[in-house]
Chains A and B, each alone.
Chain A
Amino acid sequence: MSVDTSELRARELMRAVAPARECAMYAELGFVSVEGRSGGRYAYLIYPHRPLLAYETGSGRLLSEYCVRFRDEGDRLPDADDVLARWLAIRGRERELIATANVNRPGHQIDPDHARRDLRRMREWIARNSDVD
């Protein structure tokens, strides 16, 4: 199976499972944001096969990188599956996920300027797509 085919199937699964907004955001921006169980004070940027990047939703201040990976037996999950698995884990098992992660300051693997630019892109995207739920 080609990588493209598995990625297409993974995106199909994502559309069947995750909210429309997250799916559209991933398709257009290549990452999603998901709130932690904190009443919305912080959220995580989820990039495929990259650390989770926590940030304050109000200020956009970058908080920490959480390095996690999914057991893969040598092969990687398709990008959309990796993003969906992270989304599922945060929504349902945030404490377990964060407890197993290697925690680093912002900038360890993800360029902070890149992340801030992505947060700006995301806000602009949300403003343009307020009808997508």
Chain B
Amino acid sequence: MKAGEGDVLLAEGDPEVAEDERRLVDEFRRQLDLGMWAAVPIADGARREAEVVRDFSEVPRDAERVVFYPPAAGG
């Protein structure tokens, strides 16, 4: 999620392909370095949930997407 723009595609690829995985890992790290928070949507049957991830290794291999969103602070 990006202020003023909504969601922006940062990277996509198949983590089973080494070159794609490197690109996905690099972008994941870059977003966390920027201070973004990350979550992976998870479908449990018809019910959807989201799981916080702090490292690329925590992202399920079959995840459709990782959502990066800005960190919260006191308003």
Contact = CB atoms under 8 A, between A and B. Distances in A.
A68 B73 contact: yes
Interface residues of B, number: 28
Contacts of A133: 46-47
A85 B38 CA distance: 10
A67 to B, nearest CB: 4
Given A18-B48, A71-B71, A84-B69, 9 more contacts: A9-B7, A16-B65, A17-B48, A69-B72, A77-B6, A85-B69, A88-B67, A93-B72, A101-B72
A19 interface: yes
Contacts, number: 120
B7 A81 contact: yes
A69 B67 contact: no
Interface of B: 1-7, 35, 37, 39, 41, 46-52, 64-65, 67, 69-75
A51 interface: yes
Interface of A: 1, 5-7, 9-10, 12-13, 16-20, 51, 67-78, 81, 84-89, 91-93, 96-97, 100-102, 133
